[in-house]
Structures are given as C-alpha cells and as structure tokens.
Amino acid sequence: MPGSPTAAIIKHVDGACILVASELTCYRQALAGAFRELRPNSEVFEAESEFLDQAVERLGPDLVVCDAVSIRVQTETPCWVELYADHEDRSLVSVRGERSIIEQIQLADLLSLIDRSEGEASYPVQNRAL
C-alpha cells in the first residue's frame, strides 16, 4: 500500500536459529560474530543472561549457548550448551535430551553442535529439567 509506514523484511534462513546468552558482553559478541562468520546460513541472536528466558520464548531457538542454563532452556530448546559451568573448564551439552560433559570445549565443538542442531528443529524436545 503506497505511503504505508509498515514494512516487512522476510529473510529465508536455511540454518539453525542460535541464541547466545552471556553476561560477559565481549565473549557473547565474539561468539556470535564467529557463528555468523563461520555458519552464515544460521540466524544468530544475542541476549544478556537475565533476558535468556524471554529470548527463548520469543525466538524458539534450535540451539542456546549460555553461561547458566535455565529450566525453560532445558525444557524448550532441542540443543543447548552451558559454557564453563562454575567458571571451570567443564561445559555441559544437551542434544535432544542426551547430555554430555566436554572438558576444554573448543569453537569447533560449538560449530559441530550448530551443524547437528540444524537437523534437530523438527524433533520434539525431550529434555528434562535438572
């Protein structure tokens, strides 16, 4: 409609919807930037930790990478990573409810999870709260 103030941008995204949530801004931005650069088909969002649940509700991400996983993330997100839990080398990973611990997680591990999460969106979430 001519003169309409409303505009819509429709973007086709082939890859995963990824949410990066960390209270440490620089880490969050660096991780999100790396994901955008190395997995350009994915859609990458950032959120501060305190707004994690709201972002999950709004975006319905396929993968969440965060400092501290919440109940909502555990129950509503197919894949998630809790990076450096308790500031140690250990990170907790969940892929469709199957959990594992990775010591000294690397960027390559996260990219692998992005690749896996692209195929997970159509599956129901089977995660349980800790």
Partner 1 sequence: MTAEPDELAARVLRHGPVMVVCSEATGVVRERVPFWVELYPTYESRSVVSLEGKRSTIEEIELSDLLAVLDRAERLAQRS
Question: Measuring CA to CA, how many Å separate 55 from each of 18, 21, 38, 61, 94?
Answer: 11, 9, 23, 9, 19
Considering the complex, what minimum distance in angstroms separates the CB of residue 29 from partner 1? 4
- The one segment of 17-25, 52-60, 93-101, 110-118 that binds partner 1 by CB under 8 A: 17-25
- Touching partner 1, residues 72-91 (CB under 8 A): 87
Contact 23, 48 (CB under 8 A): yes
Rounded to whole angstroms, the Cα distance separating 62 from 71 reads 16
Binding to partner 1 by residue 10, rule CB under 8 A? Answer: no
Q: Which residues contribute to the site for partner 1 (CB under 8 A)?
A: 23-27, 29-30, 33, 87
